[in-house]
Amino acid sequence: MLKILFIGDINGKIGREAVAKILPPLKKKLQPDLVIANAENSAHGSGITEDIVKELLGSGIDWLTSGDHALKRTGQLGLYDKYPIVRPANFPPGVPGRGFAIIPMGGKKNILLINLIGRVFMHMDYDCPFRKLDEILANSDLHKKNISAIITDMHAEATSEKTAFGYYADGRISAVLGTHTHIMTADHRVTDKGTAYITDVGMVGAADSCLGVDKENIIKTFLTQIKLPHVIPEKGKAIFSAVLVDVDEKTNKAKAIEPITKYVTIK
């Protein structure tokens, strides 16, 4: 049985520090074979930097996924070819990096990690994530590999799009794990066809906040319709959201998905 720990969107410095505190003892307890985290918000809520990649890998994460903020820091785009990171596979042609990766697990086992981005309410003209999944799974080179699990980070805003994608992928991949909206949903399940699903894994960031952003300016924006700056707290109570997925390496089918929520105070 393969055990895969997937961590929701890491938001800012407080999120990175929460990972550094919570992940090492959690790994010791759960003994996952692979740790994946969405890191597109890890650089103060927008994008990622080389120093932060090194910091997150040093905290015990093996692979990073991304989303709509992947290309925000144009001076950092070389990271996607240098480090164990995937960005959405349905970005337009010519974008740096890769949208999926085959991760060797020792012996003959490999895990296929896919990153996709939704189109509903995302304000960019991305390629179709549904058809992109078909394209990836039809890749003849993949059939030459011994794939023991297929994990997809579906980074999307609309719950309807993520739910539809989950049904579309059902039975063909091991897990559809939603990211982007920063609130863990209560619909985790393993389908009859053996796909683990959750609409959103949640985030790692400031707990007493609006999606990881200081709540005061957000409330004022709703009251006045004046768009005030997003301020990400660096201290205080932090939430850590993740899921643990068990996959039968002989069948590629998920057997269990367990939500994990922890809190820590960052001083």
C-alpha distances out from residue 131 to 128, 134, 142, Å? 6, 5, 17
pLDDT at 209: 94
Q: How far apart are CA 34 and CA 2, in angstroms?
A: 8
pLDDT at 76 over 80: no
Domain span holding position 146 = 2-266
pLDDT at 140 over 70: no
pLDDT at 97 over 70: yes
Domain count, the chain: 1
Residues 246-267 have a mean pLDDT of: 96
Q: How confident is the model at residue 75 (pLDDT cuts 50, 70, 90)?
A: confident
> Domain with 56 in it: what CATH number?
3.60.21.10
pLDDT at 78: 86
pLDDT at 199 over 90: yes
User: For residue 152, how far is the Cα from the chain centroid?
Assistant: 8
pLDDT at 65 over 70: yes
Identify the weakest region by mean pLDDT among 5-14, 42-51, 202-211: 42-51
% residues pLDDT > 70 (the chain): 99
The pair of structure tokens assigned to 126 is 């991305």
- Tens of pLDDT, residue by residue over 220-241, are 999 999 999 999 999 999 999 9
Residues 174-198 have a mean pLDDT of: 98
Q: How far apart are CA 75 and CA 54, in angstroms?
A: 16
C-alpha distances out from residue 219 to 215, 227, 232, Å? 6, 10, 14
> Which entry of 69, 155, 180, 182 is annotated as an active-site residue?
69
Three-state secondary structure readout of 195-211 = CEEECCCCEEEECCCEC
69 catalytic residue (yes or no): yes
- Tens of pLDDT, residue by residue over 37-48, are 999 999 987 889
Cβ distance 83 to 60 under 8 Å? no
